[in-house]
Amino acid sequence: MSRFTSILLAATALVAVAGCAKKRPPVLPPAPAEAGPVDQGNGSIDGSANGAIVPGSDADFKRSVQSNTVNFALDMYDIDSTARAILDSQAQWLARYPNVRITIEGHADERGTREYNLALGDRRANAAKNYLAAKGVPSERMTTISYGKERPVAMGSDDQSWAANRRAVTVVLN
């Protein structure tokens, strides 16, 4: 009987361990650049017509605002004075083009778990969205997405790379 008990305990332990196997994470959507070219409505895929930047395009946005990127401190998602200046310039540009929709992408550095960084990226994107909404940009024109640590802009494992990867990026959609 003791042999049967040992086998039963071993089988139970094996089933318990098998149930704890790590599940495969869901696949993230492709990067905007991988999604393929987008027609800007003027026969152009980059917001320019015959080399000229079209008003209201992503190219015009990047040229006109202080930056399309807001950086954050380690494990933070609050909007500091530098971020306010950047987001103020974005809000002014968005006020000039009331039909333009944007997506705000939240990012984190490589430290921390995947789940933690996705949540932190979401808080960063929403902080930027809420600031723009407070400046008069309608929430219906803005969407957010978090990529966590999955899409770094800097590929190092040092303070400078980590600082560059802690960000929220505004992308013009039309």
**Residue-level pLDDT at 7:** 81
The Cβ of residue 80 has, within 10 Å, a number of other Cβ atoms equal to: 12
- What does the pLDDT look like over 97-111, one tens digit per residue? 999 999 999 999 999
% of residues, the chain, pLDDT over 70: 76
pLDDT, greater one: 20 or 4: 4
Under CATH, what is the fold of the domain 38-172? 60s Ribosomal Protein L30; Chain: A; (3.30.1330)
**Is 18 a residue whose pLDDT tops 50?**
yes
DSSP annotation of 125 reads: H
d(CA 25, CA 8): 33
